[in-house]
Amino acid sequence: MTPSHTAHALKLIDSELGAVTETLATERADEIAELAAVLRDARRVFVLGLGRSGLALQMTGMRLMHVGLTVHIVGDATTPAIEGGDVLLVASGSGTTGGIVRAAENAVKAGAHVVSITANPASPLATASVATVIVPAAGKLDRSGAKSAQYAGSLFEQSVVVVGDAVFHTLWLASGATADDLWPRHANLE
């Protein structure tokens, strides 16, 4: 390992993520705004993703709490049952991950709405969603290098963080709240 390997890696990530962000800003901003509007009107927001996509989406859950939404991470011991008026926020690059699709179907049966972030607009997940952000990134099984030279869906997972922060920032700007208004919602147990 050399500093040149690290520099190459950073430039690759910056280049690929920059291209995705540009596409999201020019071609998908309406999808992000629509997803944000559904979340804004939710009684409660439930966040679900698996693996690295799930970890990235949990960051969004925290930011949604900071902007004043009631948020639950699916799988936590204190997460209640989803009901009508609630929204399930999910991320899956393929949009076909069995557990994610089943959760989306169950949420719809319970009367909740589903919003999603995926790379596959024709997926069952996108079909079950009332709002979907389509990320132009390779899926984790795409090893062709055509959409990304990064490993196993990394670009999608990075994009989930970017989309989540864009949703948060959209909601924050619309709220008129200041950073000082949001700050008391941060954990103060340190």
Residue numbers annotated as active site: 157
Task: Please give the Cα distance from 129 to 108 (Å, whole number).
Answer: 9
The residue among 91, 71, 74, 99 whose CA lies nearest residue 163 is 91
- DSSP-assigned letter for residue 105: H
Element of type H or E holding 91: strand 87-91
- Asked if 46 and 107 count as a contact pair (C-beta separation under 8 A), the reply is yes
